[in-house]
């Protein structure tokens, strides 16, 4: 690659402002306005990267998003960014980049020897090889040798934001067509127009024009845009995704161009754009030609040569040769000569070319080789010569005898493809246009229009004559996807192995996958497939493009949602008290809840067993605030709940509490809890902590869609009340130490009763229900008093050794008692009869949701998985939830353990499970398997602790 000493005078760079940068440890100098790619080219750097699989030396291939070679590791340490396209990285002072996938560096890479083994590394070789002894043995080696950049290993110190925006018209692409579309839309002063462009400045392909009239047009257009208050222009913004309902995602690079830590504010912003109408003015991309060794450094797209010459002012070679199959490359070559950059030759596969172009080429002293094909390229770190042959039979065969042409830059053009990625993401259909050898947008249901070159409206005729593959040459060194080292032979192999769908071929060969997303390889790949399988290109079709169009920083997806606010969380009213008590928190839904309160040196098991034993022997306090609390109000509240719950609600008296089950229409148990009748027309319904939202929606759905005549209101009071569970044989003694107007005596306040009154002067509700098997008081006060109530009960319980206990300890206690936990001890098939509720179903006279399903044959199957206790023969044996209960054949599963803990009270493991036909198999022996170990046990009635319920009624 030729080093540029002096930039061309018409370039859009500030040659007076030098910028220093480093690449692979070497210092260089570029100028303001350069990209990293243009700066490296200006310094004569030809090898910038190594290919993914074969470590072939690669140079700059394009000048924008379509670049498939020049990926670099940008910056070291916490600011490092892998797979940064050098063509899209604006140069800044102090930029530091390095090559990827190479050792010791990209210029001299030991991995380059893999090229000798190319024949053994065809497409998807890893599916067929490295089988012995197993893939894992080889995986590390393969992953080290194949790959791109390295992900950062330390926290990114930069910040990112996410923002939503609404617009009436969103124009994607700030080239000539996009600017025109934006100005046209802005003619309606009420329309909010958003113009997005991924380059550093507006202009699109105009930025590569050397002509003063184009620059003047651009300046005038910018001025007109600025005069419209209803146009918002965002440059450095790439639209990466087009979702349903015309929602777009775009990444705005806010401060990247200042370098690490440079600039103020966030590094990037991820826009979620809600558009009423979208105009895609995304332009077109030039395709490479497929010929032997077309991937050498020094071979690049003709459009890139135009960019680097006119926009960045580079003279890339002394012997520039063009290789084309269409007119646009000729115009580029002629323009180069016009502005002082000599072109040696134009090789064209076409037999005939427009006479005017031929004449102009002759006038520019360009040698012309028509009906010729490049059959090889020579050069180690850069192209030095090309070998060409004459094409015969309309391009189907080659004449023997190659001619060598010296060149230090080969500019190729295989035609143009409209940039239709977003159109395809929007569900739009593409149609093949034979005349230009490209796919163009046709139909879409989205509210979008495509304009300009993106719509196949090229300024001047291309007269493209496709040549998808060079004939009479081995396909094994004709590259199609440069990034992934996919050659034409790989596509041939896929077809031989019967991968004939373009979607399958893409995945089998990796053609068009990953960073590249098929920008330059897609059409060539499917056209080669078309030739191999003997189907027309329009029959083969294209792959469906999917987001993201261009890689998006993961940090931008996260935005501020990191660390503590990674996800929304809910805090208990007495959260600080739990922190002070040393609680270990875990997430239960969004709630941060104490799991247990470990003491120094305690393991989880030790802490849980200590807490459970303390509750059994004394008293414990649990923060139960997330317990769902819905109030059902209205003259039809009883009727409504009688339909929602399996239980008979009509017999409930005011002040009475009753445990109930909620079923869905399929008869499946979806929730449980204690209902309380507050007044004749007001009920308090407790739900599971995680189920309150779903049950409220369930109720509203039935009220609003099925029973709109029922005069009922549903009120969610969950967060209004802090609820603490005081439980244990000494619970009443502790509670009595607080002042209250409620008679708390055992005689006056029995199990499954509810009282309202005051406690220490706070309004309170107390429910005598038990989930531990001990005497329990579920005490609710307004949430603001939750912390005070906690402190008061802890103080009052000091004499009795009250301890705070966590949810895991509660789970142990309820498992000892045999209480089921919906979600843990039930699954998506569990019906109430599986839980022993058949009698309750039979006794309820009224209809309820799910009842019909219970009587279907599936519900009557005696081998349904039914809720049961499981007792292990060996008291010292341990088992855990998820362990399988085996059938009589000792091989197949007959159920599984749903809850299991070691009970410090009973001195053995207590377990619950769902086992086939368990209700008729009580006492039978079973075998339980977990982690390879087998235990023997038998099915027993749930509730090993206090089976008669004498304790909780105390």
Partner 1 sequence: MASASSAADRRGQGDGAGVAIDRLQGVERLRLQVFHRQAGAVEGLCDILGAVVPAAGRVTRIDGAELCWVGPGEWIVLCPPADAPGWLELPSRAASVCLAACSLMTDASATFEISGDRLRDLLARASTVDFSPGRFEPGDCMATRFAGIYAVLAWPATSDHVLLTVDRSQAEYLATWIKAVAADL
> Minimum distance from CB of 255 to partner 1 (Å)?
11
Asked if 244 interacts with partner 1 (CB under 8 A), we say no
CA 519 to centroid of chain Cα atoms: 22
Q: Which residue is it, tokens 């279907």?
A: 856
Question: In DSSP terms, which residues pair with 645 in a beta bridge?
Answer: 662
- Is there binding between residue 262 and partner 1 (CB under 8 A)? no
Q: Per-residue x/- marks for partner 1, 914-933, CB under 8 A?
A: --------------------
Cβ 82 vs Cβ 99: under 8 Å: no
Question: Which of 198, 278, 186 minimizes the C-alpha distance to 227?
Answer: 186
Minimal distance, residue 164 CB to partner 1, in Å: 5
Rounded to a whole number of angstroms, the minimum distance from the CB of residue 713 to partner 1 is 5
Of the candidate residues 715, 788, 840, 877, the single one contacting partner 1 (CB under 8 A): 715
* H or E element, residue 899: strand 893-903
The residue range among 14-22, 287-295, 558-566, 829-837 that interacts with partner 1, by the rule CB under 8 A, is 558-566
Q: Are 630 and 699 in contact (CB under 8 A)?
A: yes
Determine the interface stretch with partner 1 among 465-473, 598-606, 736-744, 782-790 (rule: CB under 8 A): 782-790
Q: How far is the CB of 545 from partner 1 (least distance, A)?
A: 24
- Kindly state the smallest distance separating residue 793's Cβ from partner 1, in Å: 18
Considering only 472, 631, 756, 827, the residue that binds partner 1 (CB under 8 A) is 631
Measured in degrees and rounded to the nearest 5, phi and psi for residue 857 equal -60, -35
**Is residue 761 involved in binding partner 1 (CB under 8 A)?**
no
The H-assigned helical ranges of 497-636 are: 502-509, 522-533, 537-540, 554-558, 575-580, 604-617
Does 718 engage in binding with partner 1 (CB under 8 A)?
A: yes
Q: Which of 18, 265, 801, 954 binds partner 1 (CB under 8 A)?
A: 265
CB within 8 A of 473, min separation 6: which ones?
A: 291, 292, 375, 376, 398
Q: CA-CA distance, 125 to 493, in Å (whole number)?
A: 11
Question: Is residue 590 at the binding interface for partner 1, with CB under 8 A as the rule?
Answer: yes
Contact of 527 with 415, CB cutoff 8 Å: no
CB of 553 to partner 1, least distance (A): 15
893 near partner 1 (CB under 8 A): no
Q: Report strand pairing: 479-481 vs 486-487.
A: antiparallel
DSSP β-bridge partners for residue 163: 271
**Binding status of residue 572 toward partner 1 by CB under 8 A:** yes
Distance of CA 693 to the CA centre of its chain: 26
User: Closer CB to partner 1, residue 435 or residue 580?
Assistant: 580
Contact between 902 and partner 1 by CB under 8 A: the answer reads: no
- In terms of CB distance, is 160 or 896 closer to partner 1? 160
Q: Does 191 bind partner 1 (CB under 8 A)?
A: no
Q: How far is the CB of 88 from partner 1 (least distance, A)?
A: 24
Q: Is 701 in the site for partner 1 (CB under 8 A)?
A: no
Rule CB under 8 A: which of 14-73 touch partner 1? none
Binding mask 791-820 for partner 1 (x = CB under 8 A): ------------------------------
Helices (H), 314-395: 327-338, 355-363
| Listed ranges 27-35, 390-398, 718-726, 908-916: which one lies at the site for partner 1 (CB under 8 A) | 718-726
Q: Which is nearer to partner 1, 365 or 590 (CB)?
A: 590
Q: Let me know how many helices (H) and strands (E) the chain has, helices first.
A: 23, 49
Interacting residue with partner 1 among 579, 713, 858, 933 (CB under 8 A): 713
- Supply the minimum distance, in Å, between the C-beta of residue 478 and partner 1: 48
b/e 158-196 (16+ beta carbons within 10 angstroms → b) = bebbbeebebbbbbbbbbbbbbbbbbebbeeeebbbbbb
Phi, psi (degrees; rounded to nearest 5) at 671: -165, 165
- The answer to whether the CB of 175 falls within 8 A of the CB of 203 is yes
Is residue 558 at the binding interface for partner 1, with CB under 8 A as the rule? no
Task: Tell me if 557 contacts partner 1 by CB under 8 A.
Answer: no
Name the region of 517 (left: φ>0; alpha: ψ -120 to 50; beta: rest). Answer: left
Q: How many residues does the chain have?
A: 954
- CB nearer to partner 1: give 492 or 785: 785
DSSP state of 70: -
Q: Does 508 bind partner 1 (CB under 8 A)?
A: no
Choices 69-77, 399-407, 483-491, 779-787 (CB under 8 A): range interacting with partner 1? 779-787
Residue 105 makes contact with partner 1 by CB under 8 A: no
Q: Which of 568, 600, 828, 932 binds partner 1 (CB under 8 A)?
A: 568
Nearer to partner 1, 368 or 783 (CB): 783
The reply on whether position 209 binds partner 1 by CB under 8 A is no
Q: d(Cα 907, Cα 361) in Å, to the nearest integer?
A: 97
Tell how far CA 512 is from the center of its chain: 20
Residue whose CB is less far from partner 1, 247 or 606: 247
* Segment near partner 1 (CB under 8 A); pick from 610-618, 644-652, 707-715, 820-828: 707-715
Size of residue set near partner 1 by CB under 8 A? 46
Q: Closest separation between CB of residue 251 and partner 1, Å?
A: 15
**399 is a contact residue toward partner 1 (CB under 8 A):** no
Kind and range of the H or E element at 495? helix 488-496
679 binds partner 1 (CB under 8 A): no
Which of 404, 720, 798, 920: binder of partner 1 (CB under 8 A)?
720
- Is residue 584 a contact partner of residue 805, using CB atoms and an 8 Å limit? no
Q: Which is nearer to partner 1, 354 or 680 (CB)?
A: 680
Residues 6 or more apart whose CB falls under 8 angstroms from that of 937 comprise 870, 871, 872, 873, 879, 911, 925, 926, 927, 928
Closest CA to 759 of 730, 715, 723, 728: 723
Q: Which is nearer to partner 1, 247 or 840 (CB)?
A: 247
| Burial of residue 523 (number of CB atoms within 10 Å: 0-12, 13-18, 19+) | buried
CA distance 14 to 77: 30
Name which position in 560, 580, 746, 748 contacts partner 1 (CB under 8 A). 560
Q: Is 711 in the site for partner 1 (CB under 8 A)?
A: yes
Distance of CA 138 to the CA centre of its chain: 28
Q: Distances in Å between the alpha carbon of 565 and those of 580, 590, 592? A: 22, 11, 12
- Among the listed ranges 119-127, 484-492, 701-709, 925-933, the one in contact with partner 1 (CB under 8 A) is 701-709
Q: Which residue, 719 or 924, is less far from partner 1 as judged by CB? A: 719
- Let me know: does 374 contact 469? Beta carbons within 8 Å: no
Distances (CA, A) of 885 to 219, 522, 823, 875: 77, 53, 19, 18
CA atoms within 13 A on the CB side of 735: 32
Pick from 547, 559, 823, 836 the residue near partner 1 by CB under 8 A: 559
Q: From 387-395, 630-638, 820-828, 889-897, give the range in contact with partner 1 by CB under 8 A.
A: 630-638
Nearer to partner 1, 22 or 276 (CB): 276
Nearer to partner 1, 83 or 570 (CB): 570
Segment 159-188, which members bind partner 1 (CB under 8 A)?
159, 161-166
Q: In the range 275-334, which residues lie near partner 1 by CB under 8 A?
A: none
Q: Which of 26, 40, 13 is nearest to 382 (CA)?
A: 40
Residue 527 and residue 543: Cα distance in Å, rounded? 12
Residues in the site for partner 1, rule: CB under 8 A? Answer: 159, 161-166, 192, 265-266, 272, 274, 559-561, 564-565, 567-573, 590-591, 631, 633-635, 704, 708-709, 711-713, 715, 717-722, 782-784
């Amino acid at each position: 690659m030729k080093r540029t000493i002096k930039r061309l005078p018409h370039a859009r760079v500030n040659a007076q402002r030098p910028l220093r940068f480093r690449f692979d440890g070497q210092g260089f100098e570029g100028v303001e306005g350069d990209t990293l790619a243009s700066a490296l080219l200006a310094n004569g750097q030809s090898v910038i990267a190594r290919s993914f699989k074969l470590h072939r030396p690669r140079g700059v291939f394009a000048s924008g998003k379509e670049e498939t070679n020049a990926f670099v590791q940008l910056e070291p340490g916490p600011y490092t960014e892998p797979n940064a396209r050098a063509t899209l990285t604006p140069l800044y002072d102090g930029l530091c980049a390095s090559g990827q996938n190479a050792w010791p560096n990209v210029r001299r890479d030991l991995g380059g020897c893999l090229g000798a083994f190319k024949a053994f590394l065809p497409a998807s070789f890893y599916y067929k090889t490295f089988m012995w002894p197993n893939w894992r043995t080889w995986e590390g080696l393969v992953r080290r040798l194949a790959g791109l950049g390295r992900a950062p290993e330390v926290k990114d110190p930069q910040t990112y934001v996410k923002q939503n925006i609404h617009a009436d018209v969103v124009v994607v692409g700030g080239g000539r067509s996009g600017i025109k579309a934006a100005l046209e839309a802005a003619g309606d002063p009420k329309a909010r127009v958003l113009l997005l462009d991924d380059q550093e400045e507006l202009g699109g392909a105009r930025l590569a024009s050397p002509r003063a009239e184009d620059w003047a047009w651009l300046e005038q257009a910018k001025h007109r845009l600025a005069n419209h208050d209803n146009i918002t222009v965002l440059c450095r913004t790439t639209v990466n995704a087009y979702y349903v309902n015309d929602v777009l995602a775009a990444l705005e690079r806010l401060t990247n161009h200042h370098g690490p830590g440079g600039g103020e504010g966030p590094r990037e912003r991820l826009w979620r754009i809600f558009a009423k109408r979208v105009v895609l003015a995304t332009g077109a991309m030039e395709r490479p030609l497929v010929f032997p060794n077309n991937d050498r450094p020094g071979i690049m797209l003709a459009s890139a040569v135009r960019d680097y010459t006119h926009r960045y002012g580079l003279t890339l070679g002394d012997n520039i040769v063009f290789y084309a199959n269409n007119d646009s490359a000729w115009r580029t070559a002629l323009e180069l000569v016009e502005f002082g950059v000599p072109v040696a030759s134009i090789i064209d596969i076409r037999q005939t070319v427009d006479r005017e172009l031929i004449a102009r080429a002759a006038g520019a002293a360009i040698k012309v080789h028509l009906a010729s094909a490049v059959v090889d390229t020579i050069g180690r770190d850069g192209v030095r010569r090309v070998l060409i042959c004459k094409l015969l039979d309309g391009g189907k065969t080659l004449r023997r005898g190659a001619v060598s042409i010296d060149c230090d830059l080969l500019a190729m053009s295989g035609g143009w493809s409209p940039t239709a990625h977003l159109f395809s993401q929007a569900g739009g259909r593409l149609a093949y246009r034979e005349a230009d050898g490209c796919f163009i947008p046709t139909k879409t249901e989205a509210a979008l229009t495509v304009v300009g070159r993106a719509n196949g409206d090229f300024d001047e005729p291309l007269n493209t004559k496709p040549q998808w593959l060079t004939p009479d040459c081995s396909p094994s060194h004709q590259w199609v996807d440069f990034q992934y080292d996919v050659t034409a032979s790989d596509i041939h192999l896929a077809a031989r192995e019967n991968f004939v769908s373009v979607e399958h071929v893409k995945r089998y060969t990796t053609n068009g996958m990953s960073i590249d997303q098929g920008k330059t390889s897609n059409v060539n790949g499917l056209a080669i497939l078309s030739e191999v399988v003997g189907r027309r290109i329009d029959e083969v079709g294209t792959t469906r493009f999917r987001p993201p169009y261009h890689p998006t920083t993961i940090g931008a997806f996260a935005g501020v949602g990191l660390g503590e606010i990674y996800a929304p969380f809910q805090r208990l009213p007495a959260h600080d008290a739990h922190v002070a008590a040393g609680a270990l928190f875990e997430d239960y839904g969004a709630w941060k809840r104490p799991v247990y309160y470990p003491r120094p040196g305690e393991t989880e098991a030790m802490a849980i067993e200590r807490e459970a034993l303390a509750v059994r022997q004394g008293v414990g306090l649990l923060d139960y605030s997330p317990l769902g609390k819905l109030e059902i109000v209205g003259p039809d509240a009883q009727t409504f709940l009688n339909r929602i719950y399996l239980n008979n609600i009509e017999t409930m008296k005011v002040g009475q509490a009753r445990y109930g089950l909620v079923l869905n229409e399929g008869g499946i148990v979806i929730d449980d809890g204690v209902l309380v009748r507050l007044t004749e027309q007001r009920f308090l319904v407790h739900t599971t902590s995680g189920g309150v939202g779903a049950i409220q929606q369930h109720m509203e759905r039935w009220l609003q869609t099925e029973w709109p005549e029922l005069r009922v209101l549903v009120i969610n009071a969950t967060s209004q009340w802090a609820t603490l569970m005081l439980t244990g044989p000494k619970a009443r003694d502790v509670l009595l130490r607080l002042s209250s107007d409620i008679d708390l005596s055992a005689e006056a306040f029995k199990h499954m009763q509810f009282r309202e009154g005051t406690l220490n002067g706070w309004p309170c509700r107390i429910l005598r229900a038990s989930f531990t098997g001990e005497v329990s008081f579920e005490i609710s006060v307004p949430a603001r008093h939750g912390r005070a109530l906690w402190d008061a009960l802890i103080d009052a319980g000091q004499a009795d050794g009250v301890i705070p206990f966590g949810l895991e300890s509660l789970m142990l206690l309820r498992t000892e008692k045999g209480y089921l936990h919906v979600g843990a001890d039930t699954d998506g098939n569990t019906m109430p009869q599986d839980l022993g509720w058949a009698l309750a179903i039979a006794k309820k006279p009224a209809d309820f949701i799910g009842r019909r399903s219970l009587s279907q044959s599936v519900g009557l199957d005696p081998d349904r998985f039914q809720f049961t206790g499981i007792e292990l023969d060996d008291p010292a044996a341990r088992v855990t939830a998820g362990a399988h209960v085996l059938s009589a054949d000792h091989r197949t599963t007959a159920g599984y353990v749903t809850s299991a803990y070691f009970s410090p009270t009973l001195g053995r493991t207590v377990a619950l499970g769902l086992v086939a036909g368990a209700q008729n198999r009580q006492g039978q022996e079973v075998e339980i398997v977990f982690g390879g170990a087998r235990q023997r046990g038998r099915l027993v009635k749930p509730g090993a602790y206090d089976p008669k319920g004498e304790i909780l009624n105390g």
